[in-house]
Amino acid sequence: MAKCRIKPILSAEEAVKNINNGATIMVGGFNYGGIPYSLVQALVDSGVRNLTLISNDTAYEDVGHGLLIKNGQVKKIIASHIGLNKATQRLYNDQKIELELVPQGTFVERIRAGGFGLGGFLTPTGVGTEAQKGKQLLAVNGKEYILELPLTADVALIRAHKADRYGNLIYFGTNRNFNPTMATAGKLVIAEVDAVMEVGSIDPNDVVTPGILIDYLVLKGDSYYAART
Amino acid sequence: MLPELEEEQQRIRIARRIALEFKDGDVVNLGIGIPTLVSDYIPEGIRVVFQTENGVVGAGPKPVTDDWRFIGAGGRCLSLQPGSALVSSEISFGLIRGGHIDHTVLGALQVDKDGNLASWWIPGKLVPGMGGSMDLVTGVKSVIVATSHTDKNGNPKIVSTCDFPLTGVGVVSLVVTEYAVFRFLKRRLVLCETAPQVEMKDIKKYTGAEFDVSDSLSLMKGCENE
């Protein structure tokens, strides 16, 4: 089914009602940058549990989606780095959370494969390391590669700079990171933005994410971290 | 005994030496810790393009006023050099894996005689994760390791075979410590430079791997005026 042409603008609280217990979610962001802070805070407040979280890192214990981990709302994490969040480290050491660590380039490419209709891809990254454990190795022209499989999610929560009412998105600074890729790989995609503008006010040459990928728009809130990014 | 150094002195010596490896126009990715310091020591007349994993090509120093919409991989604000580019993670890692970056400077838990690097996991203790390091060591043309010669307990960080899980196999080009510079030449570990007042017997004592000594062994570059 095609998505609405004119995207509904929801509050963060309304938007995260689309995320149920046990859902697999993608959350954009790298370190402090490009996290959809208002959406993840609403998800924390919703109390939804047993989530599988696909995000590059797990932010910090008291920042962004790091709070989902600290609150015990996440059962499994797929990420490249968890070192910034002490709660993740603690829960993992106590065997209270499942963790799949993926090299960062492989992480984003798996999401890209998921969103772009690929069955997987071959990467030299991780050959001869723990990262190849349980995966198929293939030799192409005498060089070894790991077969990596796609990642998709029930819902992708992303952060962009501005949207038009059709959901076309532009990004700003280092807030871009994983967001445009995750926008292709969620069944439902919710974008948190600084501003929503009339159709025609974004030059089509500047659009990074076409609006046909987006379901809902949410305006960025004014919490400390949301405001400064 | 190896000469005693303050930690700050160690870090500066390592960073300053690594900065002398770059040629004008090189594209360089710096890791967290000592590697970050390298950007402070780029010689005059050498223009280096700094790339960050989170999507900057042409990163500059920390700005006077923080703008959190522009950060580096370590989560600190950065400035943009004139002519820089901002890209998504998929392009950033395409640049890294695709061989478009000249040097990466990384820290290490251990490096071994076969050029293997371990830097992301201390089993049973700490699992920060590999982040972008596995892609960096796979795709970047020259992998430079910046590390103290020994760990906090005095154990060598250059070892015969890494005990910790690997980041990459046979990937390291250069190892710079506060006392010595080693290169991997024809798959062999070769001592090329030593710091002032460092004696060969001590380098051997505190290096956990066998190594060759270069015919042109010299004073560690950058230490001339110490």
Give the distance from residue B165's alpha carbon to the nearest chain A alpha carbon, in angstroms.
7
| pLDDT beyond 90 at B28 | yes
Mean pLDDT confidence for B42-56: 97
| pLDDT beyond 80 at B105 | yes
| Closest C-alpha to A150, from A59, A51, A81, A54 | A54
CB of A118 within 8 Å of a chain B CB? The answer is: no
Domains recognised in chain A with CATH numbers? 9-118+150-228 (3.40.1080.10)
The β-bridge relationship of strands A98-101 and A74-79 is parallel
Residue B70 and residue A125: Cβ atoms within 8 Å? no
What six digits make up the tokens of B182? Answer: 């080693």
Position B125 scores a pLDDT of: 83
- DSSP classification of residue A174: G
Cα A164 from Cα A200, distance rounded (Å):
8
Task: Give the up-direction half-sphere exposure of residue A109: CA atoms within 13 A in the CB hemisphere.
Answer: 26
Position A1 scores a pLDDT of: 62
Position B80 scores a pLDDT of: 97
Cα A61 from Cα A43, distance rounded (Å):
15
Percent residues over pLDDT 70 in chain A: 100
CB of A58 within 8 Å of a chain B CB? The answer is: no
Mean pLDDT confidence for A64-87: 97
| Closest C-alpha to A154, from A180, A182, A192 | A182
Residues B196, B149: contact at Cβ < 8 Å? no
| Closest C-alpha to A123, from B88, B143, B93 | B93
| Closest C-alpha to B70, from A174, A178, A179 | A174
| pLDDT beyond 90 at B102 | yes
Which tens digits make up the pLDDT trace of B131-162? 999 999 999 999 999 999 999 999 999 999 99
Instruction: Give the orientation angle of helix A104-115 with respect to helix B89-97, to 10 degrees.
Output: 120
Buried b vs exposed e over A91-130: b needs ≥16 C-beta within 10 Å?
Answer: bbeeeebebebbbbbbbbbbbbbbbeeeebbebbbbbbbb
Phi, psi of B97 (to 5 degrees): -70, -30
Mean pLDDT confidence for A89-98: 95
Which tens digits make up the pLDDT trace of A11-33? 999 999 999 999 999 999 999 99
With the C-alpha atoms ordered B3, B6, B10, B16, is the resulting torsion angle positive or negative? negative
Residue A200's alpha-carbon distances to A66, A190, A206, A218, in angstroms, are 37, 21, 12, 19
Q: Which of B89, B97, B126 sits opposite A178 (nearest CB)?
A: B89
Listed by number, the residues of chain B in 152-181 with a beta carbon closer than 8 Å to a beta carbon of chain A are: 165-169
Phi, psi of A131 (to 5 degrees): -65, -15
Class of domain B7-219 as given by CATH: alpha beta
Which tens digits make up the pLDDT trace of B165-177? 999 999 999 999 9
Which tens digits make up the pLDDT trace of A115-141? 999 999 999 999 999 999 999 999 999
Q: Which of A80, A172, A173 sits opposite B132 (nearest CB)?
A: A80
Chain A residues with CB-CB distance to B88 below 8 A? 171, 176-181, 208
Q: What residue of A is the nearest CA neighbor of B119?
A: A129
What six digits make up the tokens of B170? Answer: 């046979």
Q: What's the distance, CA B108 to chain centroid?
A: 8
Give the distance from residue A75's alpha carbon to the nearest chain B alpha carbon, in angstroms.
17
Give the distance from residue A97's alpha carbon to the nearest chain B alpha carbon, in angstroms.
13
Q: What residue of B is the nearest CA neighbor of A129?
A: B166
Q: What's the distance, CA A94 to chain centroid?
A: 26
Contacts of A163 (CB under 8 A, 6+ apart): A7, A169, A191, A193, A195, A196, A197, A211, A214, A217
Q: Which amino acid is at A27?
A: V
The domain ranges of chain B are 7-219
Cα A36 from Cα B182, distance rounded (Å):
45
Give the distance from residue B90's alpha carbon to the nearest chain A alpha carbon, in angstroms.
6
Cα B29 from Cα B139, distance rounded (Å):
12
| pLDDT beyond 70 at B191 | yes
| Closest C-alpha to B116, from B134, B141, B92, B131 | B134
CB of A36 within 8 Å of a chain B CB? The answer is: no
Q: Which amino acid is at B59?
A: A
Mean pLDDT confidence for A182-210: 98
Residue B168 and residue A129: Cβ atoms within 8 Å? yes
Q: Which residue is listed with tokens 């390091």?
A: B133
